[in-house]
Amino acid sequence: MKITPVILCGGSGTRLWPLSRHHYPKQFLKLVGDTTLFQESINRLVALQNGNIEISEILIVTNEDHRFLVLEQIGRLKLNVSISILLEPEQKNTAPALTLAAFAANEKNPESILLVTPADHYVKDSGAFIQSMQKAISAVEKQTIVTLGIEPTRPDSGFGYIEYEGEADVKNVLHFKEKPSLEQAKTFIGIGHHAWNSGMFVLESKTWLDAVDLCDIKMKNAIQAAWRAKVSDQWFTRPDVNFFCTSPSNSIDYAVMENAQNINVKVKLVLLDAGWSDLGSYDALDQVMDKDSLQNITQGDVVSINSRNNIAFSTKKHISLLGVENLIVIETADAVLVANKKDAQSIKKLVNALEENHSFLLDNHTKVNRPWGWFETIDQGENFKVKQIVVSPHSKLSYQSHKYRNEHWIVVKGRATIIQDDKEFILEHDESTYIKKNVKHQLINNEKTNLKIIEVQTGEKTSEEDIVRFKDIYGRN
């Protein structure tokens, strides 16, 4: 049996600010263990392969802002499966994203079975996940959607709920209820036979396309037209932006699952007992991360004395906790969050407040990934900026110029090949060069190890928008 995993990779994870940002959301963070949530979602699906199950292709649906993060993190896994990256020109929620993936899968194999999972969830027990997913795959039939549900541990209005009947491994779904009130959630828990909606589905691509045709023909037509007018390069497939943006925005649950009975689509459920969490807030970390003897969760350079039940993450600077309880302390290079744990669910309100005057803190970390490596802003002020730039082996920046800024480069590690106005030269360790504004230039690493330079920008503007590209192997304008 051939399957096509679909990883939906468009979330923003605002309730985990300042660790999670719009351009570096939680799925790309190493929150638990040595790999990111996105990488773990791929590893779990690859592990499904056995003598009876083969992966045709993994489809990843993400957006332009995250494309190079996706590419870089896939590269680190060194996989032997085919992967296609589909780029949404605009975030439209999960239903258009799945519709896009269904057209992509259907084009290669009209009988393809889709395994749809979010990119930002945590699963502790991979073996239990594989067993449940295999049961779900076996239960797939025409005009049938199989979903994985989580046995609730508490009333929670942050999850969708699925009512089911039956005691067998594969159960019949009666109703979907997307994010009820807390009182409704308490009622569901009391009744029993209700599961949390994990956002994972197994179905034939044709089943989804037929369902969208009946539930939201405008969405189907818009995404179909966008797919037919797509353009592809060696890394990405881009649906047509004009057609795609005419699609309504909706979730899988609202668009189809709540209407499944009305369109004669059978919905089945397999319970997943594998230590699942959507890691949607700092509260969720309490359920999955290791704690010390006083119930503290710490990561990075943290020292705790006489302190209890805290969460402390350090990314750059040292954190000392002394005689405090029930705090969330998150340090990043450009922001510090100190919150009472009982207010963890209110961080989204804080993010909304920051949008007014501190929106830059919601978008990027000081460290920004690029297809050739990454850069990190060390310091900046009026008319200057200082960066650390790391270029991966055998990689190069675009051939470019700047209208408003000059650049000073000094090599602190590796060997740099420099092109200035079509003239090539080499910079060794501890050597430097000066590039005036409007001079065409390019930084290249032809070596087998990382190249690290310190860049000092001076001029009227020091923004990333001040780039005029002449040649770029990554197709950027």
Number of compact structural domains in the chain: 3
Q: Is residue 236 part of a domain?
A: yes
Residues of the chain with pLDDT under 50: none
Residues 264 and 387 in one domain: no
Q: What is the pLDDT of residue 359?
A: 87
Please give the residue range of the domain that contains residue 12: 2-277
Residues 91 and 171 in one domain: yes
Q: Which long-range contacts (CB under 8 A, 24 or more apart) does 364-370 make?
A: 364/21, 364/22, 364/23, 364/24, 365/21, 365/23, 365/24, 365/332, 365/333, 365/334, 366/332, 366/333, 366/334, 367/333, 368/23, 369/24, 369/68, 369/69, 369/72, 370/68, 370/397
Residues 327 and 467 in one domain: no
Nearest of 139, 421, 471, 130 to residue 274 by alpha carbon: 130
Q: Is residue 209 part of a domain?
A: yes
Residues 270 and 319 in one domain: no
Residues 59 and 171 in one domain: yes
Residues 333 and 434 in one domain: no
Q: Is residue 222 part of a domain?
A: yes
CATH number of the CATH domain containing 438:
2.60.120.10
Residues 66 and 175 in one domain: yes
CATH number of the CATH domain containing 66:
3.90.550.10
Tokens 């994870």, residue? 13
SS (H, E, C) the chain: CEEEEEEECCCCCHHHCCCCECCECHHHCCCCCCCCHHHHHHHHHHCCCCCCCEECCEEEEEEHHHHHHHHHHHHHHCCCCCEEEEEECCCCCHHHHHHHHHHHHHHHCCCCEEEEEECCCEECCHHHHHHHHHHHHHCCCCCEEEEEEECCCCCCCCCCEEEEECCCCEEEEEEEECCCCHHHHHHHHHHCCEEEEEEEEEEEHHHHHHHHHHHCHHHHHHHHHHHHCCEECCCEEECCHHHHCCCCCCCHHHHCHHHHHHHCCEEEEEECCCCEECCCCHHHHHHHCCCCCCCCEEECCEEEECCECCEEEECCCCEEEECCECEEEEECCCCEEEEEHHHHHHHHHHHHHHHHHCCHHHHCCCEEEECCEEEEEEEEECCEEEEEEEECCCEECCEEECCCEEEEEEEEECCEEEEECCEEEEECCCCEEEECCCCCEEEEECCCCCEEEEEEEEECCCCCCCCEEEECCCCCC
Q: What is the pLDDT of residue 368?
A: 85
Residues 376 and 332 in one domain: no
Q: What is the pTM of this model?
A: 0.88
Burial class (CB in 10 A: 0-12, 13-18, 19+), 1: exposed
Distances from the Cα of 197 to the Cα of 91, 164, 234, 310, 447, angstroms? 21, 12, 36, 29, 49
Q: Is residue 132 part of a domain?
A: yes
Q: Is residue 272 part of a domain?
A: yes
Q: Is residue 418 part of a domain?
A: yes
Residues 345 and 429 in one domain: no
Q: Is residue 457 part of a domain?
A: yes
Residues 353 and 372 in one domain: no
Residues 44 and 192 in one domain: yes
Q: What is the pLDDT of residue 78?
A: 86
Q: Is residue 362 part of a domain?
A: no
Residues 395 and 442 in one domain: yes
